[in-house]
Structure 1
Amino acid sequence: MKKTIYIVLTDTGTLLSKAIGMYTRKELNHTSIAFDAELLEMYSFGRKQRHNPFIGGFVKESATEGIFRQATCAVYSCDVTVEEYTRMLDKIRLIEQEKELYKYNFIGLFGVAVNKGIQREHAFFCSQFVAMVVNEGGLQMFNISPSLVQPHHFSQLPSLDPVYEGDLQTYLNQVRGQQERPPIRMGMWKSLAFRLLA
């Protein structure tokens, strides 16, 4: 019996995402892992407070709120065994139970820039976290340390099948059907102010 995980790359439009993009020269600079096509169970490392990008850590993300409301994305799927799926979820549940211990690995981002992996205890950046989780599940997707994995590396993996690329809310409306109400778009000035604060 097979299960499916989803790797989600997004362009959230935040200042941190733009700063990372200046280095990677890629548009999609945030990585999440989800355990359902509807992205109801989606996890990553990122901001813990909506208006403060410098307080980060483990987050269960809502794909219809905050920085995701106007995000573009690429969604990839990967079939795994029940055992692999369970190991990955167990690892996430363990981190979730101790989430106050975990921080965002800002220093690790600088390590990536000089191709030197910096592994800190209880600290990850988004793509490092996702790479670690799939490793814990027994999926050896990369031949480099998770601390060197960048978001665009996932898009180059032959083991991942592309599912969708485009507006994230359009994808959610398609997979969640009519039960999911379309998100209310922020006004232009509110959106601009939010992104400047992001």
Structure 2
Amino acid sequence: MTKIKKIYLLFTDTGTLLNKTINLCTRSSLNHCSIAFDKGLTELYSFGRKSPRNPFNGGFVRENVGVELFQRATCAVYSYSVTDQELFIMKRRIQLMESMQQYYRYNLLGLFTVIMNREWNRENKYFCSQFVATLLKESGVIEIEKPVCLVRPQDLIQLHQLELLYRGKLSDYPYLLETQPNPMVGTFNRALG
């Protein structure tokens, strides 16, 4: 029997200049998306800024919701049911991308082709929703007729099996508290080491 697991999709509006520009072009908000394998968003992946202060240096990233960029963000967090096999495929793909992340770049030009509704696949280059859609499609989680290079965060929010867990300030997301490390545990473990 196939076990059902949960993955989590995080949609954010960080309020940055790039985000505001994208919001204006798409006439919507929550234009950055990420995928997580835990409710506390500690295993959170996307294509975005490699440095919070530099919007032009982007690529495959493991995101940290504790950084200032995310702390002031508004968000929506959704869960999605997947099988063990689908989860395994996604995690393997992530491991591969992490091990070769120097070869992946942010698809800045792809943002413009999406706005013009022009398909343009670029090897090893993704923007956030293109990455998440590719991961979901390659693992068999979703079937989508639209080319992944044209998928917007709003298209992912429309997935019929998504369950809304939370909407509001990301810093107030209740499950973040469950994943915060206890500072005494690290101190105790180091003392024993």
| TM-score computed with the length of structure 1 as normaliser | 0.87
Residue 9 of structure 1 aligns to a residue whose secondary structure is strand
The residue number in structure 2 matching 1:66 is: 68
The structure having more radius of gyration, on CA atoms, is 2
Aligned residues: 179
Residue 132 of structure 1 aligns to a residue whose secondary structure is helix
Give the counterpart letter for 1:144 in structure 2.
K
Contact 1:9 1:73 in 2 (8 A): yes
Match 1:137 to one of 136, 139, 145:
139
The residue number in structure 2 matching 1:13 is: 15
Report the CA distance between 1:140 and its aligned residue.
2.1
Match 1:28 to one of 14, 27, 30:
30
- Counterpart CA distance in 2 for 1:63 and 1:21 is 21
- Counterpart CA distance in 1 for 2:138 and 2:37 is 15
- Counterpart CA distance in 2 for 1:142 and 1:7 is 17
Contact 2:59 2:126 in 1 (8 A): yes
TM-aligned CA distance change 1:106 to 1:176, over 3 Å: closer
The sequence identity of aligned pairs, in percent, is 46
Stretches of 4+ aligned residues off by more than 3 angstroms: 176-181
The residue number in structure 2 matching 1:4 is: 6
1:147 aligns with 2:149: yes
The residue number in structure 2 matching 1:110 is: 112
The residue number in structure 1 matching 2:81 is: 79
The residue number in structure 1 matching 2:190 is: none
The residue number in structure 2 matching 1:57 is: 59
Task: Structure 2: state its 5+ residue gaps.
Answer: 182-193
- Counterpart CA distance in 1 for 2:178 and 2:140 is 36
Residue 143 of structure 1 aligns to a residue whose secondary structure is coil
Task: Structure 1: state its 5+ residue gaps.
Answer: 182-198
Q: Deviations over 1:45-90 (max 9, x none)?
A: 0011222111100000001113101111001111100000010111
Contact 2:40 2:179 in 1 (8 A): no
Contact 1:104 1:124 in 2 (8 A): yes
Report the CA distance between 1:142 and its aligned residue.
2.2
1:165 aligns with 2:167: yes
Report the CA distance between 1:179 and its aligned residue.
6.7
Report the CA distance between 1:178 and its aligned residue.
6.5
| TM-score computed with the length of structure 2 as normaliser | 0.89
The residue number in structure 2 matching 1:128 is: 130
Contact 1:128 1:148 in 2 (8 A): yes
TM-aligned CA distance change 1:178 to 1:156, over 3 Å: closer
